[in-house]
Amino acid sequence: MDDTRKSFGKVSLILLLLAGLAFGALIGGGLASNEDVSIAESASVPPAPVDRGGAPVFRYLGVGDVTPVTDEFDIPLPAVDGENFIGRVTILNSETLTIELAADEAIEYKAMMKQGDSIVFRWVVDGDPVYYDFHAHDASFGPEFFTRYDEGEGSSRAGSIVAPYDGQHGWYWLNTSSERLMITLEVAGFYDELVKVGF
């Protein structure tokens, strides 16, 4: 298990970068469309900052989108400056949990995150598939409010998120089989703590 945890930790840093890129649209439509200012124009004349309440601005780049631009001294300017970066002063966390789930039992674990925090995760079931619901909520929005990232049935899932708001972001599992199961959950990224949510 120690070798697995070390391998996961090394890969986690790379996956954290991908987390921001993969989920840019999730946190407020911060992706630039083809109709927006071109990359070359934004390099020479940066767009005005957009206040997204702490949510970062993301942009996907394709080879055809990039036209090199230089300043008056013929020094290359960056095609993107500051986008797709989320600075954090908190500690990079990494945890592996083994969760036992009895027949017909449900359980929920949440990562306590701040807006703009990002995590990568992987979970695997040692046994039959389970129902899962990957979602988030925060009491500030009211008792009925929640957002769903992913839902389905399966024996494993991996992915990443960037938190669109402060709150609890995590996993609900329901064992629909008649057998006891074990779930291994690996999480790495910027979050305060992982907590078990009671029913």
Residues 57, 104 within the same domain: no
For residue 180, is pLDDT > 50? yes
> What CATH number does the domain containing 140 carry?
2.60.120.510
- Evaluate whether 94 touches 5 at the Cβ level (below 8 Å): yes
pLDDT for 84 equals 80
Same domain, yes or no: 180 and 102:
yes
Q: What is the pLDDT of residue 121?
A: 98
Q: Is residue 42 part of a domain?
A: yes
Instruction: Say which residues have a Cβ less than 8 Å from residue 163's Cβ, sequence separation at least 6.
Output: 27, 113, 114, 115, 116, 117, 118, 136, 169
Residue 34 lies in a domain: yes
Dump pLDDT digits (tens) for 10-30.
444 434 444 443 444 344 443
User: Are residues 109 and 185 both part of a single domain?
Assistant: yes
Q: Is the pLDDT of residue 128 over 60?
A: yes
Of 31-35, 64-68, 138-142, give the lowest mean pLDDT range: 31-35
Residue 78 lies in a domain: no
Q: Give the residue-averaged pLDDT of 94-122.
A: 96
**Spatial distance between the Cα atoms of 110 and 53, rounded to a whole number of angstroms:** 23
Which stretches does DSSP call E strand in the chain?
Answer: 93-101, 106-113, 118-126, 130-137, 147-154, 156-162, 167-174, 181-189, 193-197
User: Residue 199: which pLDDT band, with cuts at 50, 70 and 90?
Assistant: low
Q: What is the pLDDT of residue 2?
A: 52
In this prediction the pTM is 0.69
Residue type at 118? S
Minimal CA–CA distance to 123: which of 95, 91, 93? Answer: 95
Count of residues for the chain?
199
d(CA 152, CA 129): 10
| Residue 138 maps to a domain | yes
Instruction: Please report the pLDDT score of residue 26 as a whole number.
Output: 40
Between residues 58 and 150, the one the model is more confident about: 150
Residues 106 and 37 both lie in one domain: no
- What is the C-alpha separation between 185 and 99, in angstroms, rounded? 8
Q: What is the pLDDT of residue 13?
A: 41
Please state the domain count of the chain. 2
Q: Quick count: other Cβ atoms within 10 Å of Cβ 132?
A: 21
Average pLDDT of the chain to the nearest whole number: 79
Report whether 178 contacts 139 (CB < 8 A).
no
* Same-domain status, 158 and 104: yes
Angstrom distances, CA of residue 85 to CA of 20, 29, 81, 92: 8, 16, 9, 15
For 41-77, what is each residue's pLDDT tens digit? 444 444 444 444 455 667 788 888 888 899 999 999 8
Domain holding 97, by residue range, is: 90-197
